[in-house]
A = this chain, B = another copy of it.
Amino acid sequence: MSKPSLPQGTRDFGPEVVRKRQYIFNTIRSVFELYGFQPLETPAMENLETLMGKYGEEGDKLIFRILNNGLENPDKHQQARADFEKVLEGKNVKGLTERALKYDLTIPFARYVAMNHGQLTFPFKRYQIQPVWRADRPQKGRYREFYQCDADIVGSNALLNEVELTNIYNEVFTQLGIADYELRINSRKILTALAEFCGGADKMIDITIAIDKLDKIGLDKVKAELAQRGLNDEQIATIEKYLNISGTNEEKLQLIKSLIGHLETGKKGIEELEFVNRSRSEAGAIGNLIIDFTLARGLNYYTGIIFEAKAPATVKIGSIGGGGRYDDLTGLFGVPNIPGVGISFGVDRIYDVMEELKLFPEGVYTGTQVLFFNMGASESTTAFSAMQSLRKQGVRCELFHEPAKMDKQFKYAEKKNIGFIVIIGSQEVQNNTGVIKNLKTGTQETVSLANLTNKLFI
């Protein structure tokens, strides 16, 4: 048997990494719940037809399809061969690949809402923290299996929801210690108005695609791309003026008003931003919210406010979350008129930010808190009882599995980053005491077993 390995782009998470990831997940989960969001879990597998055609041509190619079982049945071979020819042509065939791994959390959520909308209470506020799979080329920071972490409110047009979502970002990042995050917002309506102003709504896609690249390629290349996409000098000058808007949020809002405030869509977009900006200040969470007219969020289904959360500039990690408002979640599944707004957290990148800024709390580095040494069968009986009473008090402990040299037991404690050891030898059994040693400070003392917990600074 060859040496075992992992599929490219997938990862094992050992104990310390799981604890760190759980720390992030638990923080996000508890904030979602404080804000009235409820958990949803959908299967890893969806019917292939649920997913296909939802992610664009490029996206569809990255869906992992599952081969149907039972193909070795000879009755099925003729059909299977015909189906396989279609697969080779890039088509999808139910007889061969009926199921696929989910590619994101949004489409399965839409499928769930479409299937259950009669039973759900709207607005329906759900969060979902689950893995998704993409057959992307693996590279640094990009995996084939990774977690998404989404919260959406559907069945409501109220801007209050957008305000709540900005507060969730603020609360999560504050709790995680990422104080210098930036939350950039814009409205798709403002981009629509800009396109209108530059000669027609049909320019919207061209403008959005070009603007979306600003961060990466710079203004000059964006202008070149706009020219290539058929915009004239005057239009490009307007877009440049738009992209150069700067100042405080209030100053930016003034400037955008003078540029596109006379257009109906522009006015609506500005009102949205004003509402969120004002409510956010009223809620006392100021400073991190930045109105950014260069924010476009690619080519997706957003129609109102859009969000992008960025890591502190010092760590050069970029986006750690994003989202926005959409008009129609479930239309694709035959249930129209369910608008919504949602955000997501980029957990892998948040993890990297926290590593780099050393933000994980001490606790995540410790599994077992106390190791009881194994000093022989009869001493172990006493150690065992002492250990059970610590566990009843919530202390994580273990008794070394066999009587071994002290050295070996010390080494085990050290390697597992266990903070305290307790030694109960024959002398201690007689006196009903134990020797506690704090492995960080090196101090040790003999204490009554009844008094053990008080002596552990856990």
Q: Which residues of B contact A401 (CB under 8 A)?
A: 123, 153, 156, 158, 160-161
Inter-subunit contact B40/A7 (CB<8 Å): no
Interface presence of A5 (CB below 8 A):
yes
Of the candidates B15, B46, B101, B284, the one whose C-beta lies within 8 Å of that of A66 is B101
Among A82-90, A213-221, A299-307, the stretch that binds chain B is A82-90
Interface presence of A80 (CB below 8 A):
yes
A431 to B146 CA separation, bound complex (whole angstroms): 51
- For this chain, the copies found in one complex come to 2
Among A308-316, A351-359, A383-391, A447-455, the stretch that binds chain B is A383-391
Q: Which residues of B contact A88 (CB under 8 A)?
A: 71-72, 77, 80-81
Inter-subunit contact B97/A43 (CB<8 Å): no
Q: Which residues of B contact A72 (CB under 8 A)?
A: 87-90
Inter-subunit contact B46/A7 (CB<8 Å): yes
Among A110-118, A234-242, A318-326, the stretch that binds chain B is A110-118
| Count, chain A residues at interface, CB 8 A | 104
Inter-subunit contact A71/B87 (CB<8 Å): yes
Q: Which of A3-18 contact B (CB under 8 A)?
A: 3-7, 10-15, 18
A240 to B164 CA separation, bound complex (whole angstroms): 69
A131 to B42 CA separation, bound complex (whole angstroms): 12
Q: A72-B89, A401-B153 are in contact. Are A283 and B384 (CB under 8 A)?
A: yes
Q: Which residues of B contact A144 (CB under 8 A)?
A: 45
Among A30-38, A177-185, A248-256, A287-295, the stretch that binds chain B is A30-38
Inter-subunit contact B69/A67 (CB<8 Å): no
A 102-130 to B, binary, CB cutoff 8 A, 1 in contact else 0? 00000000011011100001010110000
A412 to B156 CA separation, bound complex (whole angstroms): 13
Of the candidates B40, B67, B77, B161, the one whose C-beta lies within 8 Å of that of A67 is B67
Most buried by B among A1, A334, A380: A1
For residue A29, which residue of chain B has the nearest CB? B22
Among A225-233, A260-268, A392-400, the stretch that binds chain B is A392-400
Inter-subunit contact A396/B33 (CB<8 Å): yes
Could you tell me the distance in whole angstroms from the C-beta of A339 to the nearest C-beta in chain B? 12
The 10 A-B residue pairs with the shortest CB-CB distance in the complex, in nearest-first order: A36-B398, A15-B38, A72-B90, A10-B43, A18-B39, A69-B135, A13-B41, A121-B415, A158-B401, A36-B368
26 A-B pairs in the complex with CB atoms less than 8 angstroms apart: A4-B47, A4-B111, A4-B114, A6-B47, A12-B41, A12-B116, A13-B41, A13-B42, A15-B126, A18-B39, A18-B40, A19-B39, A22-B39, A36-B367, A36-B368, A36-B396, A37-B367, A44-B44, A44-B133, A45-B133, A61-B69, A64-B66, A65-B66, A65-B67, A66-B66, A279-B384
